[in-house]
Amino acid sequence: PDAFKQSWLYTELYRARNFKQWMAKGLYLGTLMVGLEQKVMGGNVPWTLHHKHADHEMLKPASQCEPIEYPKPDGKLTFDRLSSVFISNTNHEENQPAHLTLKDANVPVNVNLRTYAG
């Protein structure tokens, strides 16, 4: 965590931390405030805007949503999953243990898949 906080990436993300919250307030106010924060103050503002709800509080069951029909990958602009992983240059040992572990391996299939369709 300390190394990340010293990185250029942390600095860049920290300076842009309010973008989504300002833009959620409308195009004109969002553009004005993002411009003020980024251009005038260089992203160094003494405030941080917070979401009204945590992400998990806004998650809807699949039954309340319209399914999204994605077109088949065209191989030019969109690609299949295997090609995308290859292009990302992801490297790991084939038998490498997962870095995330589940307390109950049945939850993804018995709860999440049924409730959220994915």
Domain ranges of the chain: 1-53, 60-90+101-118
pLDDT tens-place string over residues 43-88? 999 999 998 899 999 999 999 999 999 999 999 999 998 888 888 8
The model's pLDDT over 17-43, given as tens digits with 9 standing for 90+, comes to: 999 999 999 999 999 999 999 999 999
> What is the pTM (predicted TM-score) of this model?
0.56
Residue 111 backbone zone (phi > 0: left; psi -120 to 50: alpha; other: beta): alpha
The C-alpha atoms of residue 27 and residue 52 are separated, in whole angstroms, by: 19
What are the residue ranges of helices labelled H in the chain?
Answer: 2-5, 8-15, 19-23, 27-35, 81-87, 107, 114-116
